[in-house]
Structure 1
């Protein structure tokens, strides 16, 4: 059996251009090549850093993963690959009987997990908006509009706060998970992208309603942080990466809905809380989760939280925060990037907690790198 050496780190990267170079040279070709299931025209869920290692077993393909890859290749201006991913998303995952999109299909591309998931539908809108920007394809516009109608017309509403639930049955009749922070954040991102791509005022109106209800339901008055579960849920927690992500969405878009909802007023404080309690001073690593009092709930460090910290810092209104960006880029690159791709999760001692590289992570990488010029 051929032995492969450990991948070299990217410690020499010191700026956004270096990160973009690694992305273009290593990450994007991976998902055109060995990370892409040619027979079905769909991205694999994950690959290993070692190209000589046996491929991971295929158990399913998620619509959300396909949508994130559609976004990646739309931003990369790869029209052919993006069109293939769009066709796969629509043809393989659409539920023509009940509406919306299946959560996943099996290895033969037949419906597998058929429940309806708000997170998935948010990414369908988001990715199709980016694809529409690329090609102006009217089919993409139709999918965006149809999915907006599904989210606001078919998905049930959490009676406690008026927000769209996270999960429900295939026919939308039975709620299986009430409103949660993460799907609603990505729905916010989707509405911002769709309004910018189409100019359709319906997305701005939907965003204004969403943020008004969201602020009341999820923002902790004492810390100003956005909790993962609606208040006053027991055993609630907050994720530093999400505080940074919300801060970026506001600063990058300057959408008036952030101000009118009152959410904008909390975001500088939630950023500071996350930076103070959720960023390790010795490595610059962003931990996965904090308790409400600022103590660490989950010390592991996932790559997506690091990239959200980078782009929030890059768009921060304070000069002192932006001045820290070169050091943070260097720390990130030296710990998380290597010649074979990236480490998905580390602990603070740089031990690899999760070795495989999910196809969904490329979306986080390009989202951050776009603003690091």
Structure 2
């Protein structure tokens, strides 16, 4: 049975991933975790340490300790939380710093809403693992920072980025490849994910209302009803900017949105997003290659497909297609998930040195990118393993 094979192999893979991060990432000299480890496990001990990387490490080891009921994973979660609390939380202005240097001194102090969302997500999960009230309080405080400074009461949603003291910022981009727009799908998806996680430990009525607002924004503004793809960039008034399609985000959102609707137990939104999940899974199939892997993105205006296959869209595709199969068991979605995992196992797992490669190019060559870095974290792949173990 495909289900049994998927579950068993991803269970094995979860332990491989956790072992890699426990073995290679702790920075014993300066504390916390190295900011950058190369493709061949070559460590850059002086690399900046980012909020996203460290929040995702905190989330991963907290979530794995919870899911596996394994207290031996908690020291890694404690290590991550200590570093985050001491160096990445901005106790003066609120929010979190984007990066600090290798010893923990602030480098890029802008307030990127995406990074704050991941801190909320991480601290909510850390509270589940430890029941430390201080952790829940950090998550609530960061949520209140976003509502006070980043929320747009006029048009809805959240602005992207601010200076260290929450002033407007001319360059709001999350990364160099992103469009410089006031609002993005990506940030809203992870604010929603964070808020849903927080609601699970702190079922506040106002927080529930903000989760409903976010889901309605996705339903009414962000998902293209006709194509099933996500719009990625918007101006302040939610005017769509550009046509770029991100296959990995399509399939990731397909299951995260439905999960958030279930967390707040809203029957109307659950109904809407069950239908949306299937529509988005079908749309994602446009990006599947014959080998089962998922291409990166597509630009309709030039009809150009970026045929690189990065690690995180594969992880999300495995979960998203299993989610679609659970909603529609008679179809081909379970096979899609299995084929994507087999592609990943064959081409992206570094069986000698551990972890997953960043990706492969169209010709099958391995991309020379980080094994661990500001963006390369254990969150997508470890979460995929846990989701599949839970769902199957």
TM-score normalised by L of structure 1? 0.87
* Partners of 1:252 and 1:30 in 2: CA distance: 29
1:263 deviates by 5.4
Aligned to 2:178: none
Q: Paired residue for 1:144, among 139, 147, 161? A: 139
**Mapped contact 1:304–1:364 kept (Cα < 8 A):** yes
Question: CA deviation digits over 1:277-330, x for unaligned, max 9?
Answer: 2111x2111111123579444221111000100001122212221244333322
1:245 deviates by 0.8
Q: Paired residue for 1:44, among 4, 23, 34? A: 34
**Mapped contact 2:248–2:314 kept (Cα < 8 A):** yes
Which runs of structure 2 are paired with 1:281-360 in the superposition (5 Å)?
Answer: 282-292=290-300, 295-316=303-324, 317-319=327-329, 320=331, 321-339=333-351, 340=353, 341-358=355-372, 360=376
1:119 deviates by 0.7
**Mapped contact 2:291–2:343 kept (Cα < 8 A):** yes
Matched, 1:372 2:382: no
Q: How many residues are treated as equivalent by the alignment? A: 355
* Partners of 2:45 and 2:245 in 1: CA distance: 33
For structure 2, list consecutive stretches of 5 or more residues without a partner in the other structure.
Answer: 66-72, 173-181
Which runs of structure 2 are paired with 1:126-141 in the superposition (5 Å)?
Answer: 126-141=121-136
Cα–Cα, structure 1 residues 156 and 191, in superposed 2: closer, same or farther, change >3 Å? closer
1:132 deviates by 0.6
Aligned to 1:184: 188
1:351 deviates by 1.1
Q: Paired residue for 1:216, among 217, 220, 224? A: 220
Q: Paired residue for 1:273, among 276, 283, 291? A: 283
Question: CA deviation digits over 1:78-99, x for unaligned, max 9?
Answer: 2222122112111111222211
**Mapped contact 1:219–1:226 kept (Cα < 8 A):** yes
1:342 deviates by 1.6
Cα–Cα, structure 1 residues 143 and 165, in superposed 2: closer, same or farther, change >3 Å? same
Q: Indicate the SS of the match to 1:266.
A: helix
* Partners of 1:96 and 1:249 in 2: CA distance: 30
Cα–Cα, structure 1 residues 117 and 218, in superposed 2: closer, same or farther, change >3 Å? same
1:30 deviates by 2.5
1:234 deviates by 4.0
Matched, 1:72 2:60: yes
Which runs of structure 2 are paired with 1:194-273 in the superposition (5 Å)?
Answer: 194-230=198-234, 232-255=239-262, 256=265, 259-260=268-269, 265-273=275-283
Q: Paired residue for 2:156, among 151, 155, 162? A: 162
Cα–Cα, structure 1 residues 257 and 208, in superposed 2: closer, same or farther, change >3 Å? farther
Question: CA deviation digits over 1:214-249, x for unaligned, max 9?
Answer: 433322243132111126444331211111111111
* Partners of 1:265 and 1:353 in 2: CA distance: 36
1:265 deviates by 4.2
**Mapped contact 1:165–1:175 kept (Cα < 8 A):** no
Aligned to 2:176: none
Matched, 1:21 2:12: yes
Q: Indicate the SS of the match to 2:367.
A: strand
Q: Indicate the SS of the match to 2:24.
A: coil
Question: CA deviation digits over 1:48-80, x for unaligned, max 9?
Answer: 3434x4x23533111111110001111232222
**Mapped contact 2:34–2:44 kept (Cα < 8 A):** no
Q: Which moved more, 1:315-324 or 1:111-120?
A: 315-324
- Structure with greater proportional helix content: 2
Q: Indicate the SS of the match to 1:76.
A: helix
CA RMSD of aligned residues (A): 2.5
1:43 deviates by 2.0
**Mapped contact 1:47–1:358 kept (Cα < 8 A):** yes
Question: CA deviation digits over 1:121-176, x for unaligned, max 9?
Answer: 110110111111101110101101101100111225396x4221111111112144
